[in-house]
Amino acid sequence: MSDLDKTSGQGMANGWESTVGDAVTAIAEGPYFEELAVGQVFDGAPGVTLTAGHAAVHQAVVGDRLRLPLDAHLCREVTGEAALAHPALVWDVAIGQSTLATHHVVANLFYRGLAFRRLPSIGDTLRTSTEVVALRQNRPKQGRRPTGLAVLRIGTVDQDGAPVLDFWRCAMLPLRDPEVRTGHDADLDAVGAAVSDADLAEGAARLLAGWSLDRFRERVPGRHFADVSEGERWRVGGGDVVSAAPELARLTVNIARVHHDAGAARDARRLVYGGHTIGVALSQAARALPNLLTVVAWHGCDHLGPVHEGDTLSSEVVVERRTPLPGGGGLVHLRSRVAALGDGDPRDVLDWRFVAVMA
């Protein structure tokens, strides 16, 4: 086992030591799969105060297109706040803070049940705690390093301790010792609670308390909630190239090796941070529905394949359901399927089902 405390992950683990002459060098690294235990908590990532600089860089990398984070005057008229943070910036930082537990991750399989408890503004500080809630060792594969799956419960609060985000993430991690059999065999399908449409609507009403959706409809031309029908589908014209991938990982304090060090990836090509692909998908969804106000929840998100820097992403967006809100406007339940074109034929890389607000 590493020197990582079993109940708290205040910093990187001293996974192993080497001796050069009389000097002993400890390796600053995160845990491997067999060094995780259910109930272990990682809460030592630095807090991140969201700034206009974060917002500008994030916009440049993933193409944020939501009107309220971009237009301070419109944002103040509608929400009473002049600087609403883009939701993708918020969840990217939260996921990045959780990577103390997944420094050696080789893939992220899914996210489940992500829900905003409040919508932060620029100037708020995010702090994240990550708990290991389920573990399953994978069956060995010939020629592949043994791996296991770790499901993490991620909770993010603001500077006052008020809840901001709560969700589950499943990461695949290698074993340090390929001969170890941990016995971990959790049923991962049972992890992560689904949220009903009624609960989502109730939560959204709390998040949007004090907002003037009428004012948004007055000020912004185009289609709003009443104009959107279930089953509508768009193929977003044109693709978006993936660039500045390590920069986004650094911006969001994401320390997963595969996003920074090509030598850590299976095919010696750096993997793009999953939040990067999701951010581009949201930007493309906002081209199909330009009057999305914000995202309040995810039903789920499955990474279907790897994305590499230089790939071009394209997407198809469908309206699965609509849920009216008591004060007007409503929730649109959207599904985004993303394909990547790099070397060879297009390949499916993302299946993301999320809930957005329209006026």
| Per-residue pLDDT tens digits for 228-245 | 999 999 999 999 999 999
pLDDT < 70 regions, the chain: 1-23, 263-268
Indicate whether 199 belongs to any domain. yes
- For residue 110 the two structure tokens come to 């899914």
- Of 54, 58, 80, 83, the residue nearest 70 (C-alpha): 83
Is residue 87 within 8 A of residue 95, CB to CB? The reply is: no
Residue 21 pLDDT:
55
User: Alpha-carbon distance 101 to 150, whole Å?
Assistant: 9
Contacts of 77 (CB under 8 A, 6+ apart): 212, 215, 219
CB environment 190-220: b (16+ within 10 A), e (fewer):
ebbeebeeeebbebbeebbeebbbeebbeeb
Whether 288 is in a domain gets the answer yes
- To the nearest 10 degrees (0 to 180), the angle between helices 274-288 and 87-97 is 170
DSSP 125-181: EEEEEEEEEEEEEPPP-TTS--EEEEEEEEEEE-TTS-EEEEEEEEEEEE-SSTT--
Name beta bridge partners: 17. Answer: 26
Nearest to 278 by CA among 176, 178, 352: 352
Sort residue 244 into left (φ over 0), alpha (ψ -120 to 50) or beta. left
- Bridge-based pairing of strands 107-116 and 163-174 is antiparallel
Task: Tally Cβ neighbours within 10 Å of residue 187.
Answer: 8
* Domain assignment of residue 174, given as a range: 13-358
Whether residue 4 is contained in a domain is answered as no
* pLDDT score recorded for residue 15: 45
Residue 294 lies in a domain: yes
Task: List, for residues 267-313, the tens digit of each pLDDT value.
Answer: 668 899 999 999 999 999 999 999 999 999 999 999 999 999 999 99
**Rounded to two decimals, what is the model's pTM?**
0.92
Give me the pLDDT at residue 264, please.
65
The neighbouring-strand residues paired with 313 are 240, 340
Domain CATH for 339: 3.10.129.10
Let me know if residue 5 belongs to a domain: no
Q: Read off the tokens for 106.
A: 């080789």
Exposure b/e, 151-180, CB count within 10 A at least 16 = b: bbbbbbbbeeeeebbbbbbbbbbbbbeeee
Of 200, 145, 154, 206, the C-alpha closest to 173 is 145
7 within domain boundaries: no
User: Is position 325 within any domain?
Assistant: yes
* Total domains in the fold of the chain: 1
| Residue 286, in any domain of the structure | yes
> How far is CA 66 from each of CA 63, 75, 162, 291, 331, rounded to the nearest angstrom?
9, 11, 24, 8, 15
